[in-house]
Amino acid sequence: MTALLLVALAGFGAQMVDGSLGMGYGLTSATILMAIGLTPAIASASVHLAEIGTSAASAYSHGKLGNVDKKVLKRIAIPGGIGAFVGATVLSGLSTQAARPWASTLLLILGFYVLIRFLAQKTITLRKGRPGQRLLVPLGLVGGFVDATGGGGWGPVTTPALLANGRMAPNRVIGTMNAAEFVVAVCASAGFILGLGFAAIRWDVLLPLLIGGVIAAPIAAWIAHRLPMRIMGVAVGGMIIFTNSYTLMRTFDVAANIQIAALIIEAIIWFTLVVMVSIAHRRGRAAPEPLKESVHV
């Protein structure tokens, strides 16, 4: 009973992070499931099946709050689903370890770009228009494939790229990617079931993971909707840096004590920057500057 409660709490926490910052559910959940003894394939399959429910709840919650851009959703969800299905069926046996350092390095650079951009600019003006298909189609394919083969990765791949593109407010990026994740989860789950069968799914783990995530989904969507754009940008940028620096340290076998120290320092700096931007926002509310977009700054 205690173990099931812990899995449910893990699902709740993972969805809170994913729904409010646009990444973290799959990687967090899969890591926890592998830590309790599940194989990577079964852990990934269980996470994606649970994610069908959590992403559906998240998509509904974000949609009700106006966080979803339907045109961008259509353009990225279909290639995302294709990439996820291919990753789960045909190519899931291949190792993506060799590509992970390069991908994490690129995402780390994007994380610093996003963080510096939202720190440096007190008034954020979004670029006109929406991200085009030249960005969204390959981004969806890569994000879906990485998500299926790695047990998670849709948010860490797509969210930084769209934030760096500068055409969507952070809450719209996060809401749209959470909605698209429903299609990715369905396609990945179909691929895993085709390859592994239902007998390989740990339903005793999947159900509490699902319940915890569904409970957290509307709360996380509300946080994403209410947070001012600059504060959310700094929070998401810090999240990108934190997760990818951890991935790189693990990849290059950095000593555990150094990893812990580095992550603690990063977390303290990250928290401090969020607090600083929040204080600056509160002080500036008396005389807010007009924005071209109807978003919180």
pLDDT tens series, the chain, 297 aa: 666 787 788 788 888 888 888 877 776 777 677 666 667 667 777 777 888 899 899 999 999 999 999 999 999 999 999 999 988 887 655 555 566 677 678 778 878 888 888 888 776 677 788 898 999 999 999 999 888 876 667 888 898 889 888 889 889 999 999 999 999 989 988 887 887 777 667 788 788 888 999 999 999 999 988 888 888 888 888 888 888 888 789 888 899 999 999 999 999 999 999 999 999 888 877 555 554 444 444
Work out the angle between the directed axes of helices 133-150 and 70-89 (0-180°, nearest 10). 40
Question: Domain segments of the chain: what residues?
Answer: 2-110+129-227
The number of helices, as runs of H, and strands, as runs of E, in the chain is 11, 0
Asked if residue 205 lies in contact with residue 38, where contact means CB atoms within 8 angstroms, the answer is: yes
Supply the DSSP string of 185-237, one letter for each residue.
HHHHHHHHHHHH-GGG--HHHHHHHHHHHHHHHHHHHHHHHHS-HHHHHHHHH
pTM for this model (two decimals): 0.77
Quick check: 102 and 214 in contact, CB under 8 A? no
User: Tokens 């780390």 appear where?
Assistant: 108
Do residues 239 and 24 touch, judged by C-beta distance below 8 A?
yes
Question: Is 152 within 8 Å of 26 (Cβ atoms)?
Answer: yes
